[in-house]
Amino acid sequence: MKAIIQTQYGKSEVLQYSTVPMPAMTSREVLVQVQAASINPRDWLIRGGKYQMQFAVPKLPLILGSDACGKIIKVGSNVKDFKIGQEVMLMKNPRDGLGCYAQYVVVNEKSIALKPNNITFEQGAAVPLCALTAWQALKNKARLVPGQKVLIVGGSGGVGTFAIQIAKALGAEVDTVCGPTSIDLMKKLGAHAIYDYKKDNFMDELKSYDIVFDTIGRHGFAPYMKALNNGGTYVSTIPSPQNLIAGIKTGLRSIFFKSTKRVSMVLVQSNGQDLKEIASLIEEGKVIPIIDSVFPLHNASQAHDHSRSFRAKGKIILSMNHE
């Protein structure tokens, strides 16, 4: 099969378009013919050897890619819930082997969900990692309930575009922070108040939030704490020592004092059940995957460079249909 492999760490030119053996599968896995895969910041962090959890990454030579969408062409003997021919979305964590920048990938049945019929394969590939990050941050970490007020920092990114829509679908009032060129998109996604991060005083305007979900992590949690209501939660996608320590301290304090403002981190996990619930929101038209651009698989290096520029609005996709 064709795949993008790397045999050393470095810049985007270490990515090679090559022919490699088909992946081996176990009895609880399915073999998926990939139609599209997505680019995530973790990909180029792993590529450069700078991922925060690099110890969990498979050894070189390595095929990157955490999420994809395609058709099941083979099922393991112990797979019960899926069958050949079904169109599915999937996510693999580093410890699961990654491998989605390829024409075929194997994945445990617990990490997949059926692709909604009202979206394309490219849109399906955009969903798993980013939508699961948003879902797990808002539902599991911040314990969002209807009627709450939520701020999404970095609303125009892959995670942010899903976070705005998911928070609204769960009954929250949603504000966001983004760049000036993304304001129209944020309005289309249903954000209420939209703050331009390039304006020096934007943080002074933030107030009365039950949840702040920071998908960027540029400023850390401290500046946002004054914008939280008592008992509110700040959730970050950045597993920094500062966030970890603050999370432990505020988590313990909140057991005894309900007014404590908590700090938390989300480390996305592949979860087919969560993905199934997200798929239901997509089928209902409450969540729409936002795609910035689509590259052919052999142009993965250019796709990485575009992601690294931080100019993308929504997801960057690799398509296998142009090989």
Report all structural domains of the chain as residue ranges with CATH numbers, in order of start: 2-127+289-319 (3.90.180.10), 130-265 (3.40.50.720)
Query: What is the mean pLDDT of the segment spanning 232-240?
Result: 94
- The answer to whether the CB of 148 falls within 8 A of the CB of 210 is yes
CB atoms within 10 A of CB 6: 21
In 3D space, the residue among 53, 37, 93 whose CA is nearest the CA of residue 239 turns out to be 53
In 3D space, the residue among 171, 132, 180, 172 whose CA is nearest the CA of residue 152 turns out to be 172
DSSP 74-104: EE-TT--S--TT-EEEEE--GGGT---SBSE
pLDDT exceeds cutoff 70 at 250: yes
Q: For residue 316, what are its two tokens? A: 């960057």
Helices (H), the chain: 41-47, 121-126, 128-135, 158-169, 183-189, 222-225, 241-256, 272-283, 300-308
CA atoms within 13 A on the CB side of 52: 9
Q: Which residue has the tokens 């394309």?
A: 120
Q: How far apart are CA 270 and CA 315, in angstroms?
A: 18
Q: How far apart are CA 180 and CA 292, in angstroms?
A: 16
- The answer to whether the CB of 224 falls within 8 A of the CB of 120 is no
- Predicted local distance difference test score (pLDDT) of residue 201: 82
- Predicted local distance difference test score (pLDDT) of residue 200: 65
How do beta strands 112-114 and 87-91 pair?
Answer: antiparallel
Residues 6 or more apart whose Cβ sits within 8 Å of residue 222: none
For residues 321 and 212, the model is more confident at: 212
Q: At what angle do helices 128-135 and 158-169 cross, to 10 degrees?
A: 50
Phi-psi region at 294: left, alpha or beta (left = phi > 0; alpha = psi -120 to 50)? beta
The structure's pTM equals 0.96
- Predicted local distance difference test score (pLDDT) of residue 3: 98
Per-chain mean pLDDT for the chain = 95
- Predicted local distance difference test score (pLDDT) of residue 218: 86
| pLDDT, tens digit, 9 for 90 and up, residues 16-27 | 999 999 999 999
Residues 6 or more apart whose Cβ sits within 8 Å of residue 228: 209, 210, 212, 234, 261
Give the pLDDT band of residue 4 (cuts 50, 70, 90): very high
Query: What is the mean pLDDT of the segment spanning 7-23?
Result: 97
- Phi, psi for residue 239 in degrees, rounded to 5: -85, 60
Give the pLDDT band of residue 34 (cuts 50, 70, 90): very high
| pLDDT, tens digit, 9 for 90 and up, residues 175-211 | 999 999 999 999 999 999 999 998 868 898 899 999 9
Angle at 293 between CA 98 and CA 40, to 5 degrees: 30
pLDDT exceeds cutoff 60 at 159: yes
For residues 311 and 64, the model is more confident at: 64
pLDDT exceeds cutoff 70 at 56: yes
Residues 6 or more apart whose Cβ sits within 8 Å of residue 263: 221, 233, 234, 236, 243, 246, 247, 249, 250
pLDDT exceeds cutoff 60 at 290: yes
Q: How far apart are CA 63 and CA 6, in angstroms?
A: 7
Query: What is the mean pLDDT of the segment spanning 58-76?
Result: 97
- Predicted local distance difference test score (pLDDT) of residue 202: 86
- Predicted local distance difference test score (pLDDT) of residue 322: 65
- Predicted local distance difference test score (pLDDT) of residue 283: 98
Q: For residue 270, what are its two tokens? A: 């592949």
- Predicted local distance difference test score (pLDDT) of residue 321: 83
Give the pLDDT band of residue 53 (cuts 50, 70, 90): confident
